[in-house]
Amino acid sequence: MVHRRELNGETLVFGNQGALWGNAMTWWDHSTGSVWSQPLGEAILGPHKGDRLELFLSAMTTWGAWRQTHPETLTLDAPGGFDRISMRSVAIVVDLGTETAAYPIPLLEREHVINDTVAGVEIAVVMDPADPSRWAVFSRDVDGIVVDLISRGDVLFDPASGTAFDPVRGIGTGGTLDGEILGHLPAFTSFPRDVPTFWPEARFWTGSG
């Protein structure tokens, strides 16, 4: 996950605090020494306690899948090992403030697209049928029209408008919503066992029926 480090007009400088809280890393900010929870982006100790950073769009995926979609990307050339975390071991978490929902990857692999409502927002959690390493969360509200998406071949499809949508970029082709774009929503991955630690009221999606 990626957070904006500007808070109330100040750009914070963070370091690794070195301790775990809820089985996840913590940071500290150099200006106040406040301790921050990485999953929440929220200060849990110090003068900034209770303050929360804005969550940016990001995704855990393979480098190959990312480069295929974003070939212009530059990356930090630093030594490191291979990340052996399996996508099937995590859930996609959507936290919209008043409600949090988690979508286990194995269920998303089966459906390819999940239509849901979180905190009153109509969303679609999507996996690219061509590559399970690529996923996204979109708003299903297109200028006041709420689409109900299904997986059809290698695209998302809204039967009501007759529009196909790219599962990675959310761009519509054909039908009455041709050229419209589904808005990306911030989301991130977490091990399912850790979700209740940080979001005790989180709802786990268990299937469409």
Mean pLDDT on 175-192: 92
Give this prediction's pTM. 0.81
Which class does domain 87-204 fall in? mainly beta
Q: What does the domain layout of the chain look like in residue ranges?
A: 2-56, 87-204
pLDDT bin (cut points 50, 70, 90) of residue 159 is very high
55-64, 174-183, 196-205: segment of lowest average pLDDT:
55-64
Mean pLDDT on 57-61: 75
pLDDT bin (cut points 50, 70, 90) of residue 73 is confident
- Strand stretches in 9-106, DSSP E: 10-11, 14-20, 25-29, 35-37, 42-45, 55-56, 91-95, 100-104
CA distance 89 to 97: 25
Give Cα 56 to chain centroid, integer Å. Answer: 9
Closest CA to 37 of 22, 26, 50: 26
CA distance 54 to 12: 13
Longest dimension (CA), the chain: 54
> What phi, psi does 113 have (nearest 5°)?
-145, 135
